[in-house]
Amino acid sequence: MGGCFYVPPINQRPALDIKPRSSDPVHRGDHGEHGVILDALADDPEGQFVAFQWRVYLCTDATDFATCDQDPITSGIESSITFDVPSLRADPDGAGPAIAAPVESLLVILEAKDDHGATAKPADSLIIPVLDADPSLEVDQHRLYGGVIGTPVDLFAVYGDPDDTAANVMITWQAFSPSQVEINLADIVVPQPDDLALAQVGKRLVPNAIGLWDIVITATDPVGQAVTRHLSVPVGDDKPPCLAQWSPIAPTGGVTLPITEPTLFQVPIVADDLDRFPTIVGDPFLGPTTFAWSIKPPGASARQPLVGVTGNTAALDPASFAPGSIVELRVEIFDRNATPISCADSDQSCSVISTACIQRQTWHVEVR
C-alpha cells in the first residue's frame, strides 16, 4: 500500500542588521542628544515577530574581546537602543577609575529569535570606533625685564581636556636657543584658573643668548592625542636708559626758560629695562639710574659738575646770578653699562642710539 506523510515547513532563521541613526563620528564622552542610537533591522522569511537582545561593550580594540570590559555597559530588548559613551572603561584591576583605560572602540552585539524559536546565527555585531578629543592648550609669556639677556622670562600653559580632564593631560616643554641648542627650564609656582576644568603650569627661562628663542609646549592625553604650541621669545641686549619725563619744560630753538625764584629741576621718570627710575628696591635684577648734573655759569667756557647732586633733582636759585644772566643746567643719565654720551657739548639733548630715547637734557635758563 502506498501512503503519504505531512511534513510541516522548516522555520527559517531571521536575518539581522544593525543600523546607526547617525553617520557622525562617535567621541568619548558623547552623551544625551550626542549619544549613540542604533536600530535593529530583522528580515524573517515567514514574517514572524522577532525578539531582540542587545549588548554593548566598552573596548580598547573591539576586534579583540580580551581588551573589552567583561560586562556590557548596557543591554536592551527593544528594536532600538540608545546609550552614552563613557570616557573610560571599567578598571580591569579594580583599583578605581583613576587608572581605567580610555574607551577607544565599542563592540555591539545583537541577537534575535523569532516567535517560533528560530535564532539568528550568527548574531550580528558592529564595531564602532570611538574618537578622542584633543586637549586644549593656550600659552603665554611674561618678559619681566623686557627680554634682556640673562634676565628671567616666565612661560605659562593653560590646558584641559573635554574627555580626560586636565589632571590626565601631560605637559612637556622644550626650549631652543637661537642657535637651536636646547636648555632646561625651571619650574615656577603659578595660580590656577577660575575655570575648574582647566589647569595651569609655569616655567622660567633665563636666556643666555641674544635672538629669537623657540619654546615648544605639548599637551598629550592618555590616548596619545597631542597638541603643540610655540612661543617665540625675543631676547636682546640691555638698551640705554631713556629720559621719560622732566620738569620744568626745556624750550628749544634758542628760547630760554625765565626764572625769578628758586626752582627745582627734576627727572621724575627714567624708562629702562633694568636701571629705571623709580626703581624697585630689593629686586635682584633691577638697579638705580645714575644721574649726572652739571652747570655752565654765565660767561664760563667749560661746564662744571654739581658737586654732591646725585639724585634725580637739582635746585637753582636765581639770586646766585646777576639779572639777565644765561645759565645752562644739564642732566645726563646712565645705566649699569655707563655708555659714554658722545654728542657735541653744544647739543641740548643727545641719544646714544640716535632715536627718540635721549640720555641728555639741557635747560637754558634766563635769570630775572
Q: Which domains does the chain have, with CATH numbers?
A: 15-131 (2.60.40.1930), 136-235 (2.60.40.10), 242-367 (2.60.40)
> CA 275 to CA 339: how far, in whole Å?
13
Per-residue pLDDT tens over the stretch 88-107: 898 655 554 445 789 999 99
For residues 342, 343, 348 and 351, what is the CA-based torsion angle, rounded to 10 degrees? -80
Beta partners for 170?
220
Which parts of the chain sit beneath pLDDT 50? 7, 96-98
Handedness of CA 252, 254, 259, 262 (dihedral sign): positive
List, for residues 262-287, the tens digit of each pLDDT value: 999 999 999 999 999 999 999 999 99
- C-alpha to C-alpha distance for 332 and 241, rounded to whole angstroms: 10
All 3 cell numbers of residue 350? 643727545
Amino acid (1-letter code) at residue 120: A
Picking from 56, 53, 183, the residue whose alpha carbon sits closest to that of residue 114 is 53
Contacts of 221 (CB under 8 A, 6+ apart): 102, 132, 134, 135, 161, 163, 164, 168, 169, 170
The predicted-structure confidence for 320-341, as pLDDT tens digits, reads as follows: 999 999 999 999 999 999 999 9
Q: How many CB atoms neighbour CB 82 within 10 A? A: 13
Grid cell at residue 336: 649699569
Q: Would you say 330 and 294 are in contact if contact means Cβ atoms under 8 Å apart?
A: yes
**Are residues 251 and 158 in contact, defined by beta-carbon separation less than 8 angstroms?**
no
The pairing of strands 290-296 and 326-334 is antiparallel
Which residues have a Cβ under 8 Å from the Cβ of 158 and sit 6 or more positions away? Answer: 137, 138, 139, 140, 193, 198, 199, 200
Query: Omega of the bond prior to 122 within 30 degrees of 0, cis?
Result: yes
pLDDT at residue 4 in the model: 58
Give me the sheet containing 304-305, strands edge to edge: 257-259, 360-367, 326-334, 290-296, 304-305
Which residue is listed with cell 534575535? 112
